[in-house]
């Protein structure tokens, strides 16, 4: 049988410029996004300041000096001093450690738990999914701030308790993201194909589903860190969260409120730093979302 197809001639390989994987292409798009890179830079810079706080802050965060209280920004005290004569700049640097670490840890925690819950719901579907979704519905029926306040009120204030409270209220977000991811993929043919060749459930999840859910999870995580930093500040502001003398930025604002009439400068820096951190994260998160789904960009 003159089978042309069996001939050894293979057509000249078609040259493509896109030999990268999809993820690689997405990373390339991300790197080109100026706004996202600036955002990432901002966040990393602030994180660096926080990490290096013990080494670069001119004073300790609790060092009081009543003689120098309420000083406006000067060469000696870049951001001025507060009501106890403490150097605001140093307090801001140290405060970053709390504000940022609470955000990152709470999100990491929430992600781990949320992923497990979402995966279970998404993969097994049916009754299990129904029950889990009802629980999540109840969770999300309470405005997040209120929920966090309730949990925080129950647990008490403090660094680790606040992380816990924030983590719990963010679990539904991750659970839903992963569940949506899984459900959309469950029906895709390559999962059916994997099942058809005898690929077990666990292997399917690990090898196929998780890598492809990675992208939306990352976006959710970034937005969540931004959200948690804001929430932490709000909690500390109203008296929960992390309290003075710990220099958490929200707590500093709470203290500064009492002096708003006479010493308004005390309000500027903590708020500015919160805003900048969250802005950086949001810019990066936006860029991440655009990079992973470029159709929406233009």
Partner 1 sequence: MADTKNTFLEVKDLVVQYTSAGEVIHAVNGISLQLERGQTLALVGETGAGKTTIGKSIMRILPDRSASIKSGSIFLEGQDLLQLSEIDMRKVRGARISMVFQDPMTALNPTMKIGNQISEVIKIHNEVSKAEAKKQAISILELVGITAERYDAYPHQFSGGMKQRVIVAMALACSPELLLADEPTTALDVTIQAQILEMIYALRDKSKMAMILITHDLGIVAQAADTLAVIYAGEILEYGTKEAIFKDPSHPYTMGLFKAIPNLTSDSRRLANIEGLPPDPTVLPAGCCFHPRCPYAQEECRSIKPELEVISPGHDCRCTRSSEIKQEVANVF
Partner 2 sequence: MGRYILKRILWLIPVILGVCIFIFTIMYFVPGDPAALLLGPGATAGEIAVKRKELGLDHSFIIRLLDYMKRVFLHFDFGRSYTTGNVITAELIQRFPKTAVIGFVSMFLAIITGVPLGINAAVKQNGLADRICMMLALVGISVPVFWLAMMMVIVFSLNLRWLPSSGVASWTGYILPCVASSFGGMAGLARQSRSSMLEVIRSDYITTARAKGLSERDVIYRHALPNALIPIITIAGNKLALVFGGSVVIENVFSIPGIGTYMVNAVNNRDYPVVQGSVLFLAVIFAAVMVLVDLVYAYVDPRIKARYIGSQKQKTKKRGERSHG
Q: Which 166-205 positions form the footprint of partner 1 (CB under 8 A)?
A: none
Say what the alpha-carbon torsion angle 162, 163, 168, 172 is, to the nearest 10 degrees.
130
Q: Is 296 in the site for partner 1 (CB under 8 A)?
A: no
H or E, element range at 273: helix 265-292
**Residue 130 contact, options partner 2, partner 1, none, Cβ 5-8 Å cut-off depending on partner type:** none
Neighbours of 272 (CB within 10 A): 13
Positions in 28-47 near partner 1 (CB under 8 A) = 29
The dihedral through the CA atoms of 33, 39, 42, 48 has a sign that is negative
Closer CB to partner 2, 59 or 91, in the complex: 91
> What does 62 bind: partner 2, partner 1, none (CB cut-off 5 to 8 Å by kind)?
none
Residues that bind partner 2 (CB under 8 A): 134-135, 137-139, 141-147, 149-154, 156, 183-184, 226, 230, 233-234, 237-240, 250, 253, 257, 260-261, 264, 267, 270-271, 274-276, 278-279, 281-283, 286, 295-296, 298
Could you tell me the two tokens for 56? 């670069």
Is residue 118 within 8 Å of residue 184, measured between CB atoms? no
Rounded to a whole number of angstroms, the minimum distance from the CB of residue 239 to partner 2 is 5
Judged by beta carbon, residue 99 or residue 246, the one nearer partner 2 is 99
Write down the least CB distance from residue 268 to partner 2, Å. Answer: 8
Closest CA to 181 of 212, 202, 208: 212
Residue 250 to residue 269: CA distance in whole angstroms: 11
Number of residues written out for the chain: 298
Q: Name the CA dihedral angle for 289, 291, 293, 295, rounded to a multiple of 10 degrees.
A: 120
Q: Least distance in Å: CB of 14 to partner 1?
A: 5
Nearer to partner 1, 5 or 127 (CB): 5
Which residue of 8, 14, 75, 154 would you call a contact of partner 1, by CB under 8 A?
Answer: 14
Residue 15 touches which of partner 1, partner 2, none (Cβ within 5-8 Å per kind):
partner 1
Contact 168, 109 (CB under 8 A): no
Binding of residue 19 to partner 1 (CB under 8 A): no
Joined together, the tokens standing for residue 215 give 């992208």
Name the residues that contact partner 1, by CB under 8 A: 1, 3-5, 9-12, 14-17, 29, 294, 298
């Amino acid at each position: 049988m003159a089978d042309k197809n069996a001939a050894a001639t293979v057509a000249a390989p078609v040259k493509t410029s896109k030999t990268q994987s999809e993820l690689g292409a997405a990373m390339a798009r991300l790197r080109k996004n100026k706004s996202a890179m600036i955002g990432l830079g901002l966040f990393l810079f602030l994180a660096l300041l926080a990490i290096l706080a013990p080494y670069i802050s001119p004073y300790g965060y609790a060092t009081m000096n009543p003689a120098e209280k309420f000083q406006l920004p000067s060469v000696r005290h870049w951001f001025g001093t507060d009501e106890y004569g403490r150097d605001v700049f140093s307090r801001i640097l140290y405060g970053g450690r709390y504000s940022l670490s609470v955000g990152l840890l709470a999100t990491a925690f929430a992600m781990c738990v949320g992923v497990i819950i979402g995966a279970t719901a998404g993969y097994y579907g049916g009754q299990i999914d129904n029950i889990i979704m009802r629980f999540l519905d109840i969770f999300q029926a309470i405005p997040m701030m209120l929920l966090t306040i309730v949990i925080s009120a129950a647990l008490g204030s403090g660094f680790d308790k606040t992380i816990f409270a924030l983590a719990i209220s963010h679990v539904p977000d991750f659970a839903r993201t992963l569940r949506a991811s899984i459900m959309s993929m469950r029906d895709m043919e390559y999962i059916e194909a994997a099942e058809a060749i005898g690929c077990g459930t666990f292997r399917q999840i690990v090898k196929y589903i998780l890598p492809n859910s990675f992208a939306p999870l990352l976006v959710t995580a970034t937005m969540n860190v931004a959200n948690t930093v804001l929430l932490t500040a709000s909690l500390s502001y109203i008296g929960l969260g992390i309290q003075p003398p710990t220099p958490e930025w929200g707590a500093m604002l709470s203290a500064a409120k009492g002096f708003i009439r006479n010493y308004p400068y005390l309000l500027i820096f903590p708020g500015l730093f919160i805003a900048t951190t969250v802005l950086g994260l949001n810019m990066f998160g936006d860029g991440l979302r655009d990079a992973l789904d470029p159709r929406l960009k233009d």
